[in-house]
């Protein structure tokens, strides 16, 4: 069933868990995520990032995401991730996306605030939710996860709690993406998470906190972040890696012809397994079962 991100995050807040938000780059990705969510009996967020347009265009995969969300047996929000172009935001909303993220984090604070307010007004006409962001989560800002040892991100890269309070009050967003030590992509060394910063932001902001760069974080660190107020966790890189590495393994062991449909089935199998574990950690199921 298709619902808004705001509704899913309200449920997550009530249960003190986090909703998994998985970036989609293929039909197989949708099958893996929804299959895992239905098996776990947990709500989920399907999302598309414009950076993946070279893999598959929003115009192709977007309507499929909405259709499959509508037919899912669990609550599903369909979200545009890292939208920095109002045309793309409107394109997603016209398709039936129930949530959008306006990412003006690279802009001066005043411009980010103004742009986010426009996104809130635009999404409001569709009854959709909005995620905003302040702080930096690109690898180029967080040198501490690069090759060198001892390189640390500057304080300016992290979300300032007082600024977060001002931003939320001025924009009317439904969720806030914050920077506290995670980055997008593969971690080249152990991330240095500022967990106390999450608590400080939540004291200032009565909104769900969003973690970007969720792949590669330990289960225990996930739990610590959730305990401090993270309610949406974005996840893609290690999901894609799980599918790719399993296909590589199966292909290496194959003695005969490999058909393309074999490859896609292997990919779905591995990605679903990874998503299922991730959803269970985010929802607290894995901890209870352990």
Cα separation, 174 vs 7, in Å, equals 10
102 labelled ligand-binding:
no
User: How far are the Cα atoms of 89, 183, 188, 212 from residue 178, in angstroms, in the given order?
Assistant: 20, 11, 21, 8
82 labelled ligand-binding:
yes
213 labelled ligand-binding:
yes
103 labelled ligand-binding:
yes
187 labelled ligand-binding:
no
User: How far are the Cα atoms of 98, 103, 157, 208, 232 from residue 171, in angstroms, in the given order?
Assistant: 18, 13, 21, 15, 19
Sequence-ordered list of residues with C-beta below 8 angstroms from that of 187, at least 6 positions apart, any chain? 145, 215, 216
Contact yes or no for 69/48 (Cβ under 8 A): no
234 labelled ligand-binding:
yes
Query: By three-state DSSP, how is residue 2 classified?
Result: strand
Half-sphere exposure of 241 (CA within 13 A, CB side): 9
- Concerning whether 81 is annotated as a catalytic residue, the answer is yes
Token digits of residue 55: 């893999």
One of 81, 160, 174, 274 is an active-site residue; which one? 81
290 labelled ligand-binding:
no
Token digits of residue 97: 């996306």
4 labelled ligand-binding:
no
What's the burial of 88, exposed, middle or buried (CB within 10 Å: 0-12/13-18/19+)?
Answer: middle
277 labelled ligand-binding:
no
Q: Which of 102, 86, 91, 39 is nearest to 66 (CA)?
A: 91
Active site residues: 81
Residues contributing to the annotated binding site for Zn(2+)? 82, 103, 133, 184, 212
Residues flagged as binding site for dihydroxyacetone phosphate: 185, 213-215, 234-237
**Residues contributing to the annotated binding site:** 82, 103, 133, 184-185, 212-215, 234-237
């Amino acid at each position: 069933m298709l619902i808004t991100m705001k509704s899913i995050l309200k449920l997550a807040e009530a249960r003190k868990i986090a909703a998994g938000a998985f970036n989609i780059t293929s039909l197989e990705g949708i099958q893996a995520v929804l299959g895992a969510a239905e098996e776990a009996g947990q709500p989920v967020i399907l999302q598309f990032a414009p950076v993946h347009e070279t893999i598959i265009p929003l115009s192709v995969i977007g309507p499929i995401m909405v259709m499959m969300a509508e037919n899912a047996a669990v609550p599903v929000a369909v979200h545009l991730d890292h939208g920095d172009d109002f045309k793309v935001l409107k394109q997603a909303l016209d398709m039936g996306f129930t949530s959008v993220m306006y990412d003006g984090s690279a802009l001066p604070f005043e411009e980010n605030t103004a742009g986010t307010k426009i996104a809130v007004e635009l999404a409001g006409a569709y009854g959709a939710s909005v995620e905003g962001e302040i702080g930096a989560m690109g690898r180029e800002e967080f040198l501490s996860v690069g090759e060198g040892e001892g390189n640390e991100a500057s304080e300016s890269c992290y979300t300032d709690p007082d600024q977060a309070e001002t931003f939320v009050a001025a924009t009317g967003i439904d969720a806030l993406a914050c920077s506290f030590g995670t980055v997008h992509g593969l971690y080249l060394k152990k991330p240095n998470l500022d967990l106390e910063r999450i608590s400080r932001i939540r004291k200032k902001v009565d909104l769900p906190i969003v973690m970007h760069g969720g792949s590669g974080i330990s289960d225990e660190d996930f739990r610590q972040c959730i305990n401090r107020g993270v309610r949406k966790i974005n996840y893609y890189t290690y999901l894609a890696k799980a599918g790719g590495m399993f296909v590589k393994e199966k292909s290496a062991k194959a003695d005969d012809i490999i058909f393309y449909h074999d490859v896609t089935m292997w990919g779905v199998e591995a990605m679903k397994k990874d998503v299922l574990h991730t959803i269970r950690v985010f929802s607290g199921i894995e901890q209870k079962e352990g």
